[in-house]
Amino acid sequence: MKIKKILNNNAVLVGKNGRDFIWIGTGLGFQKKPGQLADESKIEKVFVLQKKATINRLLALLEATPIDYAALADDIISLAKKELKSQLSEALYVSLTDHLYNLVKLHEQGLLIHNKLSWEIKKFYPKEFDVGKKALTLIEAKFGITLEDDEAGNLAMHLINAQLTDTIEVTEDVQKLSKKIRDILALVRMHNKIEINEDSLAFDRFVTHLRFFFKRLDTMSRNEKSNPLLLHCIEQYPSAYSTMDLIEKYLNVKLTDDEQLYLILHIQKLIEND
- C-alpha to C-alpha distance for 153 and 149, rounded to whole angstroms: 6
Alpha-carbon distance values, 46 to 13, 30, 192, 210 (Å):
10, 17, 40, 31
Last residue of one domain, picked from the residues 148, 168, 188: 168
Residue 65 and residue 162 in one domain: yes
Residue 186 and residue 124 in one domain: no
Residue 59 and residue 153 in one domain: yes
Residue 139 and residue 155 in one domain: yes
What pLDDT, on the 0 to 100 scale, is given for residue 270? Answer: 93
Domain with 229, as residue range(s), is: 172-272
- C-alpha to C-alpha distance for 25 and 42, rounded to whole angstroms: 5
What pLDDT, on the 0 to 100 scale, is given for residue 2? Answer: 87
Q: Quick one: 56 exposed, middle or buried, by C-beta within 10 A (0-12, 13-18, 19+)?
A: middle
pTM for the predicted model, two decimal places: 0.63
Query: The domain that contains 36 carries what CATH number?
Result: 2.30.24.10
What pLDDT, on the 0 to 100 scale, is given for residue 160? Answer: 83
Residue 153 and residue 179 in one domain: no
Low-confidence ranges of the chain (pLDDT < 50): 165-172
Q: What residues pair up with 45 in beta bridges, in sequence order?
A: 24
Task: Give the chain's domain count.
Answer: 3
* Mean pLDDT, the chain, whole residue set: 85
What pLDDT, on the 0 to 100 scale, is given for residue 193? Answer: 93
Last residue of one domain, picked from the residues 120, 135, 168: 168
Give the strands of the sheet with 11-16, arranged side by side: 2-8, 11-16, 19-24, 45-47
What pLDDT, on the 0 to 100 scale, is given for residue 167? Answer: 37
Question: Maximum distance among all alpha carbons in the chain?
Answer: 59
Residue 151 and residue 73 in one domain: yes
- C-alpha to C-alpha distance for 112 and 136, rounded to whole angstroms: 14
Nearest to 209 by CA among 244, 259, 255, 166: 259
What pLDDT, on the 0 to 100 scale, is given for residue 172? Answer: 42
Residue 130 and residue 155 in one domain: yes
Query: The domain that contains 222 carries what CATH number?
Result: 1.10.1790.10
Last residue of one domain, picked from the residues 115, 146, 168: 168
Residue 200 and residue 227 in one domain: yes
